[in-house]
Amino acid sequence: MAKTKSVENAEKLVEKNMKGNDASHDASHVSRVRDLALSLAREEGLSSNPDSMEIVELAALLHDIGDYKYLRDPSEEQIVEKFLEEEGVDEIKKMKILAIIKGMGFKEELAGHTTDGFSPEFGVVQDADRLDAIGAVGIARCFTFGGSRNRVLHDPTILPRSDLSKEQYMKKEEQTTVNHFHEKLLKLKDLMKTKAGQKRAESRHKFMEEFLKEFYDEWDGRA
């Protein structure tokens, strides 16, 4: 399927806007999420509808622009909406894309925002983003982000927080990088919305469990 002009312009916006981000949330992450989302969409039977595929592709490309973790200016929160308006994206499509981006974050689920009755497009984009957060790439991204924030690698005296609120989740300064696996990453397998996403999450989740077992054995001198 040929790229639309809006998709080409979205790619340029991603390159420009995410240039200064660390490698855990850079243009390569966005590219992987886009490819995963389109692949999941095809598996879920959305490829017969070009409008659905464009919604999926644009939402995946634009999902991390204006991310609170990288905001340099409050006005950046409006970049995506302004972009879609300037591109002349159909109002219904625009609202669907914005709804996906606004509701797909883990912090929204912690806040109790229900995704009951979510659209198929929402499901594949959210699952794609979460798949990129787990497995081998997810492990690499987790430690990259932790390093970029000078976070402690691991401290056995700091326990993972078991009952997180949205506000607590967004304040990670006192948490270790390894605790992020327990607070979020190991939970994502069971939060996948699509059958295609659930299937792919199984092996990635297992890889993380094996990694953590080896990590703790090496940390404690047992390996």
- Report the C-alpha gap between 88 and 145 in whole angstroms: 35
The three-state (H, E, C) secondary structure of 185-221, written as one string = HHHHHHHCCCHHHHHHHHHHHHHHHHHHHHHHHHHCC
96: closest CA among 79, 107, 80?
80
- Report the C-alpha gap between 149 and 154 in whole angstroms: 14
SS3 of residue 220 by DSSP = coil
Tell me which of 201 and 111 has the higher pLDDT.
Answer: 201
Contact (CB, 8 A) for 204 and 138 = yes
For residue 193, what pLDDT is reported? 95
- What are the tens digits of pLDDT across the range 101-118? 999 988 777 766 656 668
Q: How many residues are listed for the chain in this entry?
A: 223
Contact (CB, 8 A) for 99 and 61 = no
- What are the tens digits of pLDDT across the range 164-196? 766 776 665 668 999 999 999 999 999 999 999
- The DSSP letter of residue 74 is G
Place of tokens 């609170």: 68
- What are the tens digits of pLDDT across the range 110-151? 766 656 668 999 999 999 999 999 999 999 999 999 999 999
Q: Output the average pLDDT for the chain.
A: 91
The domains of the chain, with CATH numbers, are: 5-219 (1.10.3210.50)
